[in-house]
Amino acid sequence: MAYSGPGGGYFQGGYGSAPGGPAFPGQAQDPLYGYFAAVAGQDGQIDADELQKCLTQSGIAGTYKPFNLETCRLMISMLDRDMSGTMGFNEFKELWAILNGWRQHFMNVDADRSGTVDSQELQKALLSMGFRLSPQAINGIVKRYSCRGKISFDDYIACCVKLRALTDSFRRRDATQQGMVNFQYDDFIQCVMSI
């Protein structure tokens, strides 16, 4: 299960209509639009390379190193409702809100201010976001996202993105909300490979 709320594992978008549409009146006044427009092409969409530039220029990573390209691909896939491989401004605004929540959460669980979280801090973080995972699942996550037992901010974000996207995909298939779904093999492959 995932937490429903600001910065949590599951976030109901509140930024409106179809993502990636034409610029709307007042969009140029939005402070985020400057970062977005600086890298977006004529189509008003950004790909993973452009998202990486945009997030680096915005400084959202703070004192942490900029997001790597794979993390940017994951971020786009999390919100890519039309499966275009790109992100429009509305999707970017939604991502910005989610990233700010996760950054604040990371800072809160990084108790020793090391710039990384260890397995115990990650377990607390996931629990506070509403993820009820077995010790084996937590161990698997730590092995996947840590370097010598420490998880950097970039890898923490990649982990949160993947957990949210997989949880959303699972939830859509769990019609009875019982925590169990049946996947056909091809559906399973499409689900995990799109994230």
The domain ranges of the chain are: 31-176+184-194
Predicted pLDDT at 1: 37
Residue 69: helix, strand or coil by DSSP?
Answer: helix
Burial class (CB in 10 A: 0-12, 13-18, 19+), 84: middle
Predicted pLDDT at 183: 83
Predicted pLDDT at 177: 86
Q: Say which residue, 172 or 16, is predicted with more confidence.
A: 172
pLDDT band at 15 (very low <50, low <70, confident <90, very high): very low
Residue 11: helix, strand or coil by DSSP?
Answer: coil
Predicted pLDDT at 23: 44
Torsion of CA 8, 5, 73, 121, to 10 degrees: -10
CA 100 to chain centre: 10
Statement: residue 22 has pLDDT above 60: no
Closest to 75 measured CA to CA, from 106, 102, 41: 102
Is 0.85 surpassed by the pTM of this model? Answer: no
pLDDT band at 48 (very low <50, low <70, confident <90, very high): very high
Predicted pLDDT at 115: 87
Q: For residues 130 and 8, is the Cβ–Cβ distance under 8 A? A: yes
Statement: residue 7 has pLDDT above 80: no
Statement: residue 4 has pLDDT above 90: no
What DSSP character marks residue 8?
A: S
Tell me what the mean pLDDT of segment 70-77 comes to.
90
What CATH number does domain 31-176+184-194 carry, 1.10.238.10, 3.30.565.10, 3.30.1490.100, 1.20.1270.360? 1.10.238.10
Residue 127 tokens read as 């629990």
